[in-house]
Amino acid sequence: EAYELYLRGRFCWNQRTAESVRQAVGFYERAIARDPLYALAHAGLAESYVLFPWLSVAPPHDSMPKARTAALRALEIDDALAEAHAALGVYLSFYAWDQPASERELRRAIELQPGSATAYHWLGNIALLAMGRWDESLAAVRRAGELDPLSLSIASDTGVTLLYARRYDEAIAQFRRTLAVDPKFYVARYHLGLTLHAKGDYAAAIAEHRTCLESDGDPWV
């Protein structure tokens, strides 16, 4: 039963909306209530809480300490759990601002689970991106895309890496490929708007962001 609840949480987590990630936390908490030593569910909580600030669910000072606590609890139960190391890596980058430590945790996650698309995704789009290591960042996030070709989040964040590397035309093409799969995936459309803005096409950028607001009221938009 705990595993079923974990899978439901994972499905919601993959949607990457404020409401779906809140729902994921609920499923993971129910899984932990059924099995307090279920390390994956604790890791799932950590993976969800690290997304809260970026989805405008809760401020970092509220959610990031919870992410750390959940990740460390998961590792206390099973220190070889890649998901927990990956979530801790995000905490270290976004909140502790310790990029070398973040990279170590994310590479440890990959070492433990070489097929982890999430670990490659976050290594590329978080730790390496924050350090301005564009080529390495792009290689990692593209590896994530090979491992999980159906992930809209990974596809979109490949475009984000290209945006930060100022490869604007490639980024625009990447976001549009992502939106061709799901036109309502507002994260890709939001970043498409930012890229158009960076290129100086303000009218197109505003149009993309207005379309975003029709599907999501995220304050970032």
The pLDDT assigned to 16 comes to: 82
Average pLDDT, the chain: 95
The pLDDT assigned to 15 comes to: 83
The whole model's pTM is what? 0.90
Lowest average pLDDT, out of 11-20, 124-133, 171-180, goes to 11-20
Q: Give the model confidence (pLDDT) of 4-56 as tens digits.
A: 999 999 999 988 888 999 999 999 999 999 999 999 999 999 999 999 998 88
The pLDDT assigned to 18 comes to: 86
**CA–CA separation, 84 vs 72, rounded Å?**
7
**CA–CA separation, 174 vs 162, rounded Å?**
9
**CA–CA separation, 65 vs 71, rounded Å?**
10
Lowest average pLDDT, out of 10-14, 23-27, 101-105, 195-199, goes to 10-14
Q: How long, in residues, is the chain?
A: 221
Residue bearing tokens 């490639």: 170
Higher-pLDDT residue of 133 and 214 is 133
What number is the average pLDDT over the span 103-124?
A: 97
Long-range pairs for 61-69: beta carbons < 8 A, 24 or more residues apart: 64/91, 64/94, 64/95, 65/95, 67/91, 67/95, 68/95
The pLDDT assigned to 55 comes to: 86
CB neighbour class for 184 (10 Å; exposed up to 12, middle 13-18, buried from 19): middle
Given a contact cutoff of 8 angstroms between Cβ atoms, the answer to whether 122 and 158 are in contact is no
> Residue 59: which pLDDT band, with cuts at 50, 70 and 90?
very high
Q: Cα-atom radius of gyration of the chain, to the nearest Å?
A: 17
Given a contact cutoff of 8 angstroms between Cβ atoms, the answer to whether 80 and 95 are in contact is no
Given a contact cutoff of 8 angstroms between Cβ atoms, the answer to whether 34 and 5 are in contact is yes
Whether the per-residue pLDDT at 217 is higher than 80: the answer is no
Lowest average pLDDT, out of 64-68, 104-108, 148-152, 198-202, goes to 148-152
Lowest average pLDDT, out of 13-27, 65-79, 110-124, goes to 13-27
The pLDDT assigned to 44 comes to: 97
Which DSSP string corresponds to 82-116? HHHHHHHHHHHHHTS--HHHHHHHHHHHHHH-TT-
**CA–CA separation, 197 vs 190, rounded Å?**
11
